[in-house]
Amino acid sequence: MRRYAVFLVAVLAVLVLAPAVFAADGAVPETNWVAITSGFAMAIASAAGGYAQGKATAGACEAFARNPGAAASIRFGLILGLVLIESMALYTFAIVFMKVK
Amino acid sequence: MEEHTIWVTVLVNRLLGKPALALLTALHIQPANPEYPIPNHVSMELLVFLLSAIFFLWLKRRISVDRPGGTQQCMEAILTNPMNVGVRDLLEDNAGHAGARFVPMLGSIGIFVLFCNLISVVPTLESPTAVVSVPFGCAIVVFAYYNWCGLMHHGPLGYGKHFLGPVLPMAPIMLPVEIISNLARLLSLTVRLWVNMFVSELLYGLFLGLTLIVFLFAGKANALGYGLGIVPLFVPVVFILLHIFVAVLQAFVFTILPVIYVSGAVAEEH
């Protein structure tokens, strides 16, 4: 397990340092850090949003199982909660869209 | 990204282009495209307004208590319905019986946002709410309206007391927090509506492009490829359905959040 981790770190190091090869002909392409960071930011936002929506859905299903008569209110609260959580992940997408060239 | 002018924009600019350009020049504003000074989203908003006005004026003549038609019953479901998600129901739940006086304004905003969101389903039209200035405008109207309601109901001093929090010693902390959270409501209303509409259109366009490439690639192979290549083109239909679902849901959220804000502004503390 540790050997694979060391191998992975070595591969990543080679990938990050690879553009230095271009130094021979004098043109070094600038790393687009904004794009890399945006990728990670969007992944984290979607993961957190997905986890939160899972918890909301689980709570709603359990509440419905305990009290099927309140189905309408539970469904209403579930939909509203899911929409608001979704919008949190989409704020990150808005930043990504505005800042990545 | 350059903007493709749709046929509605061309028509509106033919009618109102010269006065619009004169007005913009008098205000020293440079339009993005001087040939068509009225942009796509403004002409689409005007189209939505015109269609809604015609529809509701037509409906108004046909309203009857004894024999309501199907259209009247559908529109009444927006106002009050068995699932308690009509505009009047939401206001009664949150603002009490006196809440019905807010129905005209909040209902109009909700219906406008709903029609703006849904109009992009029509093939050659696009949604004005996918451009950030349109949801910003709607959010400014909501912000001004709920603050106005609070000021009218409590008076300036009484409404200002709302921002100071429950207990007077906490006022220095509560005041900036309340002001920032009120401004954040403006931002969140705008971004939520804009990004949801923009992303669902983007997803649909993306998958349409991908399946179109599959279709063209399969078509180059042989005649059977053209026949079988049609099948991937049905995939974006799912995204149109998703877009309709998101459009209705976002219009609903854009109605219920102003209901909650207005109820909070005119609430009497006990």
Tell me whether B188 touches chain A (CB under 8 Å): yes
pLDDT at position B6 is 87
Cβ A87–B188 below 8 Å, yes or no?
Answer: yes
Cβ A87–B194 below 8 Å, yes or no?
Answer: no
pLDDT at position B42 is 92
pLDDT band at A58 (very low <50, low <70, confident <90, very high): very high
pLDDT over 60 (residue B140): yes
3-class SS of residue A85: helix
- Of B93-102, B104-113, B225-234, the range with the highest mean pLDDT is B104-113
Question: Which amino acid would we find at residue B173?
Answer: I
Compute how many other C-beta atoms are within 10 angstroms of the C-beta atom of residue A20. Answer: 9
Tell me the HSE value of B60 on the side-chain side, using a 13 A CA sphere.
6
Cβ B191–A94 below 8 Å, yes or no?
Answer: yes
pLDDT at position A27 is 67
Give residue limits of the domains in chain B. 105-265
Distance from C-alpha of B241 to C-alpha of B107, rounded to nearest angstrom: 25
Cβ A76–B84 below 8 Å, yes or no?
Answer: yes
| Cβ contacts of B256 on chain A, cutoff 8 Å | 80
pLDDT over 80 (residue A16): no
> What mean pLDDT do residues B228-250 have?
89
pLDDT at position B251 is 95
pLDDT at position B197 is 94
CATH topology of domain A2-99: F1FO ATP Synthase (1.20.20)
- How high is the mean pLDDT of chain B? 89
- How high is the mean pLDDT of chain A? 88
Residue A85, Cα to own-chain centre: how many angstroms?
13
Residues in chain A: 101
What would the DSSP string read from start to end of A35-84? HHHHHHHHHHHHHHHHHHHHHHHHHHHHHHHH-GGGHHHHHHHHHHHHHH
* The two structure tokens encoding residue B61: 């003549």
Using a pLDDT cut of 90, give the percent of chain B over it: 46
Please give the model's pTM, rounded to 2 decimal places. 0.85
Residue B117, Cα to own-chain centre: how many angstroms?
6
Q: Which of A31-40, B76-85, B178-187 has the lowest average pLDDT?
A: B76-85
pLDDT band at A24 (very low <50, low <70, confident <90, very high): low
pLDDT band at A26 (very low <50, low <70, confident <90, very high): low
pLDDT at position B128 is 94
Nearest CA in chain A to B85: A76
- Of A39-43, B68-72, B172-176, the range with the highest mean pLDDT is A39-43
Secondary structure of chain B as H, E, C letters: CCCCCCHHHHHHHHHHHHHHHHHHHHCCCCCCCCCCCCCHHHHHHHHHHHHHHHHHHHHHHHCCCCCCCHHHHHHHHHHCCCCCCCHHHHHHHHHCHHHHHHHHHHHHHHHHHHHHHHHHHCCCCCCHHHCCHHHHHHHHHHHHHHHHHHHHHHHHHHHHHHCCCCCHHHHHHHHHHHHHHHHHHHHHHHHHHHHHHHHHHHHHHHHHHHHHHHHHHHHHHCHHHHHHHCHHHHCHHHHHHHHHHHHHHHHHHHHHHHHHHHHHHCCCCC
Cβ B191–A87 below 8 Å, yes or no?
Answer: yes
Our CA-based measurement puts residue A31 at a distance from the nearest CA of chain B, in whole angstroms, of 23
Q: Could you report the per-residue pLDDT of B40-75, keeping only the tens digit for each? A: 999 999 999 999 999 999 999 988 888 888 889 889
pLDDT band at B1 (very low <50, low <70, confident <90, very high): very low
Is the ipTM of this structure higher than 0.90?
no
Contact call for residues B91 and B258 (beta carbons, < 8 A)? no
> What mean pLDDT do residues B177-206 have?
92
> What mean pLDDT do residues B202-231 have?
82
Of B191, B198, B249, the CB nearest to A83: B249
Give residue limits of the domains in chain A. 2-99
> What mean pLDDT do residues A13-30 have?
71
Q: Which of A6-15, A84-93, B199-208 has the lowest average pLDDT?
A: A6-15
